[in-house]
Structure 1
């Protein structure tokens, strides 16, 4: 019997232990363990909804404790603090700060990435981040009081990638709903991007449609604007201009946590990603695998797997199959990412997508339904179609009966 330990319960990690638990745990063939400091799983592409107060945690959050019991893997609420590759031992730290050791036969690191502040002065002290559900909830706790007070309130978002665009659009939708409730609060949202267009990593034709949609929602989009430093209540640009705000959110760029560079000599790149081979094994240790945004995974054409949710989902499904081969003594196959396109939510009922290698760009409610379907496919892996169907029905009933904005307006 082998012990497979997965560190990180994001999209990739949770899908992997779900598949492995069903394949091996129920038959007691191998021991599957998930190490994750949080108590609940939230799909990372929807963290902006938590920050905007529109996420339905009752239906869409996943309890690791309950899920592990239903899918035959063990859940340990702790974070990774160190690694001894020779002894095949993990050093873990629980929620009380106590450290302990755990043995493994195979280790999978799937801890994801965080926002890159590019060492910009003042950002860590004066800006909010959306790298975890805890940070998103903290952002909501600061935004919610603004929505309860009459008058105009300013929110600045730095970074017009997927997270920044989706957060800006979601907040604009919330502000518009408040007007329909005849409530006096109004948000003035400014989206700041250092590049010449929004979604700089996406196709230009998609960026144009997204920027038009943002402008129609009353969002001020500032491209070619580089933030030099952040201060209390304002951002200072490279030109010396001050952009004031009640809340400042940093969503520019990605990197991995610094502690990944200190894992017993494992190779990392300049973004702190762990280097792996084509089969997702680390370059220096064949018993250690890396998934998702925390991996620098090469592709046959010389490129690397992009840091997207769909790449993490595909890698999790691939590695689950390869573990079956590995544990039977068979050779593993390389991971080839199949780019299904890019879909960006621009509000709760509108989205823009680039499909077929960016040859087709679509927009509207249909594309928003496609965006939601991607999330439901993730849930399908976790629960199966029966429960997903029930969740969809319950969600529609709740949307029909409850207001869009979940805050207390009384």
Structure 2
């Protein structure tokens, strides 16, 4: 009998327990448990849409309780606060059925990553982050209040990676769409990036196309702009004050600080847990790590990048490897296959790079591909039948409702 415990219900963790739960359906010898503090799963690459009120929580959110019952795994609503590798138990941050520990035979860490404030003075206190659905919903509540003003409201976004770029574009689209309400106020969006171009990890020609589109949408882009400090409604950037009613931090990536003290497991400078090519930790073969919180080496000496597609591939790979594991077969190494990058710039436009970043595409049909990636994630969770029904329902709602579902009153 094998007891699999997965910590973290993001894209990687939820896809893994879904695949394992279905694989072991009817087999009482193996149990699968998901440990996650939230009650609902929302796909992290679309948090920027939640922050702007354009994400359909009713149709696209996943209840862990309901999903676990339908897919053969157990759900424990709690966070992880510690690990005892010798006794093979994890410590929970709350009591569950009178106990705050959980035993495992094989543990999978899939807790993801968060934005890196680089310990800049005032950032943690005066900027909003978009690392969770709760934070994204908080941002939307503040933006709704700003939209009720009769004067122009300013929003500063720090970090022109995927999250920052998509959020800036979505806000610009919101500004255009809400003109139908004939409200007196408007939004002025400024995107601040320390590098010399937006999307610094993408091909240069892709960065140029994305920046051009952002500027066409009315976003002010500031490059080579280093944030020195943050205070209430103000950022100091290159010794110049930038005023804004809302300040969003979307720069850098790191993992939670508590991962650096997880019973001696090896971590790097941004708290990622070091793993072998088999996704097992370097010091304990019973502990696996997938997603953004893993530092996984590749044959060419590089590391798997912290992207959603890498997390999805790792979940698929590990589900297959666990089947081999219970049959006493050797584990195979994980090899990341880069499918390129796609950035949404509003609901009708996207820019993407494919073929090893040799070809850059743009347009409405690229946005359709972007949406298909999300539907593929849902397909793993629900199957094509329900996904097709969700797509039809969403189309009907779009025809009947205003573009933005959130109440502005």
Q: How far is 1:151 from its partner?
A: 2.1
Q: Deviations over 1:168-188 (max 9, x none)?
A: 000111111111332222100
Q: How does 1:50-199 map to 2 (within 5 A)?
A: 50-94=50-94, 100-199=100-199
Which range moves more in the overlay, 398-407 or 115-124? 398-407
Q: How does 1:5-404 map to 2 (within 5 A)?
A: 5-94=5-94, 100-237=100-237, 239-404=238-403
Q: How far is 1:408 from its partner?
A: 2.1
SS at match of 2:129: coil
Q: How far is 1:143 from its partner?
A: 1.0
Q: Give the distance between the partners of 1:231 and 1:124, measured in 2 at CA.
A: 10
Structure 1: runs of 5 or more not aligned: none
Q: Check whether the contact 2:51–2:140 (CA below 8 A) recurs between aligned residues.
A: yes
Q: How far is 1:405 from its partner?
A: 1.4
SS at match of 1:271: coil
SS at match of 2:379: helix
Q: How many residues align?
A: 408
Which range moves more in the overlay, 340-349 or 145-154? 145-154
Q: How far is 1:371 from its partner?
A: 0.4
Q: Check whether the contact 1:25–1:31 (CA below 8 A) recurs between aligned residues.
A: no
RMSD: 1.1
Q: Give the distance between the partners of 1:400 and 1:378, measured in 2 at CA.
A: 25
Q: How far is 1:197 from its partner?
A: 0.2
Q: Give the distance between the partners of 2:2 and 2:221, measured in 1 at CA.
A: 53
Q: Check whether the contact 1:105–1:287 (CA below 8 A) recurs between aligned residues.
A: yes
TM-score by length of 2: 0.98
Q: Deviations over 1:25-78 (max 9, x none)?
A: 432230000000000000000000110111100000000000000001000000
Cα distance change of structure 1 residues 3 and 30 upon mapping to structure 2, 3 Å threshold: same
Q: Check whether the contact 2:144–2:408 (CA below 8 A) recurs between aligned residues.
A: no
Q: How far is 1:99 from its partner?
A: 6.5
Q: How far is 1:406 from its partner?
A: 1.8
Cα distance change of structure 1 residues 99 and 231 upon mapping to structure 2, 3 Å threshold: farther
Q: How far is 1:124 from its partner?
A: 0.3
Q: Give the distance between the partners of 2:210 and 2:62, measured in 1 at CA.
A: 31
Q: How far is 1:208 from its partner?
A: 0.3
TM-score by length of 1: 0.98
Q: Give the distance between the partners of 1:76 and 1:310, measured in 2 at CA.
A: 26
SS at match of 1:210: helix
Q: Give the distance between the partners of 2:139 and 2:50, measured in 1 at CA.
A: 8
Q: How far is 1:148 from its partner?
A: 2.2
Q: Check whether the contact 2:161–2:198 (CA below 8 A) recurs between aligned residues.
A: yes
Q: Check whether the contact 1:266–1:283 (CA below 8 A) recurs between aligned residues.
A: yes
Structure 2: runs of 5 or more not aligned: none
Q: Deviations over 1:277-320 (max 9, x none)?
A: 00100000000000000000000010000000000000000000
Q: Deviations over 1:115-139 (max 9, x none)?
A: 0000000000000000011111111
